Structure 1
């Protein structure tokens, strides 16, 4: 049992600034004691006695203030968001929701589909808002197993995913802002759910990572940009140091082939790397070691993947 917090005590310092005042209000709080008398012609007419506490919500909750109001407001917000986004069924209540996604693992156009993960007391749903689409849905009682998996993303970050399997044999790999919290909530809602041990992280394959130029398509014409390229088991990623996110991401299933062509580039060797992809068509790159990159990209190419309908040409072999 935690000891009660000491009562707020007034402080006085004539040197404080507005920033100091705001910081005190948010972190410590302030108590106002005001006695005011309004008089006209020295005749007191109105008396005001004011006692007020002003603080940030976290501070208020630490001192036991506004807890009931905070809980009821949060519950109302969760119910409102759940009804607005998920269309809750009668008697269904939202347990938690968070940003996440679903990995499409079948078909030509595989990859992560971002959305929001919604867990109710009846269903687990991954929903994309615009355009509205249910990416994955399963009843909580229809889940058979749940397992945490850690992998290295295209950008090199280690991320924990959640793999679920249903009683009818379906499996799905989900991403979530709090995968451990989602895992715990699922096992709590379904006591019969089997929580498998966390899957060991796969050993990373040989990667090619170095400075790479990317010819970015623009309305005014293609523009060469320098950045870091990484080619590994998750595909090709290129990112400029000025960008918050990678500007080029090509999963391994979309790489059709690569070859070298004569061309001007910032690398200065008179050669460019031409990458053929399923959804992005022809991608032009440049590197200090173009043949090394072309060989590595060609080795990653998925076999027997047809070209896009509007691209009848076949990728040339690696030089």
Structure 2
């Protein structure tokens, strides 16, 4: 085995070391060493539930530091969510979208531009009276969801976000005075009101420039969408609406979970998503049942 092979095994699968060592001088045992160690890449370690506390604490510290440097927080103010997005400027000479970063704190909703640094728009959460998602057709003809906010003074503002559904859920909870968990930046809040049809470990063939790469992570299927996320990623790598699913099938051949473990999901746009499961038949049934065509039939 070459060094490259050894590194690949350690990063992707890991190794468990069991070592019992006795140090003796003149055949007299003096020191005993009993070592049990797991050596693996961080993604593999987290996938199997190891070092999660360290990972969560490190991420939380880094995220708080980034937020405090970027946004001048008030005394006692905490950041709940951060995502890329923008604000539609409608007054004055200029009319158009201004990109930036959308921050949701426990007091405010802020759209901040980093360079040159400027708060493009902000409001107190207490002034938000209604939040709804509205479709908008872009210049290129693509339809995207925007967030329309109704404020206490009767004004209306439009925001964009990378994950508009997540931001909508978060603002709806905050406006209703419900508990809003502090989430790692870029994470979609868990939809507690939408029951999970299936939840568990899956492999996802993530598209890469050099070709698809199988990665292990956790998937959650609800009536509305399938979400897959690796334990080391800051945000889900796959968010697929069940309304876009047109076909779910098992394919022959070997996958990371063994022969016959690969599932192919086809979407309305003609794209294919490949997943692998320890129980592919069960996942195939649940995914197929979640499709709108299947539900209608």
Question: TM-score when scaled to structure 1?
Answer: 0.49
- State the match for 1:173 in structure 2: 158
- State the match for 2:14 in structure 1: 29
Note the aligned Cα RMSD (angstroms): 2.8
- State the match for 2:126 in structure 1: 141
- Equivalent of residue 122 in structure 1, options 107, 123, 141: 107
4+ runs of 1 displaced by more than 6 Å? 38-46
Q: How does 1:254-265 map to 2 (within 5 A)?
A: none
Indicate how the Cα distance of structure 1 residues 80 and 29 shifts in structure 2: closer, same or farther if over 3 A, else same: same
Q: How does 1:301-312 map to 2 (within 5 A)?
A: none
Indicate how the Cα distance of structure 1 residues 53 and 175 shifts in structure 2: closer, same or farther if over 3 A, else same: same
Tell me, yes or no, if the aligned pair for 2:129 and 2:175 is still in contact at 8 Å: no
Larger radius of gyration: 1
- Equivalent of residue 100 in structure 1, options 56, 63, 85: 85
- State the match for 1:160 in structure 2: 145
Indicate how the Cα distance of structure 1 residues 20 and 189 shifts in structure 2: closer, same or farther if over 3 A, else same: farther
- Provide the secondary structure at the position in 2 that maps to 1:134: strand
CA distance in 2 between partners of 1:56 and 1:119 (Å): 33
- Provide the secondary structure at the position in 2 that maps to 1:92: coil
CA distance in 2 between partners of 1:111 and 1:54 (Å): 52
Aligned residue pairs: how many? 178
Tell me, yes or no, if the aligned pair for 1:149 and 1:163 is still in contact at 8 Å: yes
Gaps of 5+ in 1: 1-15, 194-319
Tell me, yes or no, if the aligned pair for 1:78 and 1:94 is still in contact at 8 Å: no
Tell me, yes or no, if the aligned pair for 1:101 and 1:112 is still in contact at 8 Å: yes
- State the match for 2:72 in structure 1: 87
Gaps of 5+ in 2: 179-297
CA distance in 2 between partners of 1:164 and 1:47 (Å): 67
Deviations 1:217-244 (A, max 9, x none): xxxxxxxxxxxxxxxxxxxxxxxxxxxx
